[in-house]
Copies of this chain bind each other. A is one copy, B any other.
Amino acid sequence: MRFRTNINKSAGDSVEKFEDLGFSKVDFDREKRTGYPEVIYGEGKTAVQIQQIMTKLIEKHGKVLVTRVDEEKGRALIEAFPLAQYDCTSRILQYGVAKQQYGGEVMVLCAGTSDLFVAEEAAITAEWMGCNVKRLYDVGVAGIDRLLAYREEITKASVLIVVAGMEGALPSVVGGMVRRPVIAVPTSVGYGAHLQGLTPLLTMLTSCASGMSVVNIDNGFGAAYQAALILKLASEGVHHEDPVS
């Protein structure tokens, strides 16, 4: 065959913990190891590849989440999986529901309307993983009163995901208001000196607010994943022990 499109067989035979699809080793063991089945990162995969991996994961776990799915692939995949749901803003495709439902609440805040695609990726991921989610959108610091109007709600959240593009100042202000962990998400929304999101990323990393950590630009999924792990830990509870030192 002079015009070859498939990949040569991989060296490793499939072993029990994962299945080798040639182009991918589907990691069945991940749920046991990390508490959740593998999530599919849709960017750079064809609808057909996604469908194949989804099939394997649904067989094994009964549910699956796919992120970064564009509308065209989204339509194709809900054809293939009538029980799946696709959301245009977040570009998330979800199938099945979380077995667990954690106590507490994840609040997702975002600074501007254009940051919604990241905020919704976070919100929907957190919901799919079993969290209660509250949304508070378009509360950027240049109109600080909009944010202050919700101060009480903000302080009630168990974990806060704060999404911001432009100068990325919102997490610093929120971080100084609460006694709970804040996960900051910079977005690629901005222009010029914004450097495709590097500026809010650096802003958030150098924040003078304590209790805050940062994920990659536009990585709403990653922030939600960590938030869910925190609620999971809090829901399971921790034992009081004597300090070691």
Residues of A that sit less than 8 Å from B by CB = 2-5, 7-12, 15, 17-18, 20, 23-25, 27, 29-30, 33-36, 39, 43-45, 49, 74-75, 78, 82, 84-89, 101-105, 107, 111-114, 116, 120, 123, 127, 130-146, 148-150, 153, 158-159, 166-169, 172-173, 175-183, 186, 188-219, 221-223, 225-226, 229-245
Q: What copy number does this chain have within its complex?
A: 8
Out of B86, B102, B175, name the residue touching A2 (CB < 8 Å).
B86
The reply to whether B34 and A179 form a contact with Cβ atoms under 8 Å apart is yes
Query: Which B residues lie within 8 Å of A173 (CB)?
Result: 141-142, 144, 169, 173
Chain B nearest CB, measured from A90 CB (Å): 9
Given contact pairs A3-B75, A5-B87, A44-B114, a sample of 17 additional A-B residue pairs in the complex whose CB atoms are under 8 Å apart: A2-B78, A2-B82, A3-B88, A4-B88, A12-B153, A23-B137, A27-B146, A35-B179, A101-B243, A103-B237, A134-B244, A169-B169, A179-B229, A192-B201, A193-B205, A194-B206, A211-B229
Query: Which B residues lie within 8 Å of A219 (CB)?
Result: 192
Docked CA distance A34–B35 (Å): 30
The reply to whether A4 and B213 form a contact with Cβ atoms under 8 Å apart is no
Chain B nearest CB, measured from A14 CB (Å): 10
Q: Which of A25, A127, A153, A237 has the most CB of B within 10 A?
A: A25
Q: Which of A139, A150, A190, A209 has the most CB of B within 10 A?
A: A209
The reply to whether A142 and B207 form a contact with Cβ atoms under 8 Å apart is yes
Docked CA distance A75–B168 (Å): 33
Docked CA distance A222–B183 (Å): 12
Chain B nearest CB, measured from A132 CB (Å): 5
The reply to whether B217 and A143 form a contact with Cβ atoms under 8 Å apart is no
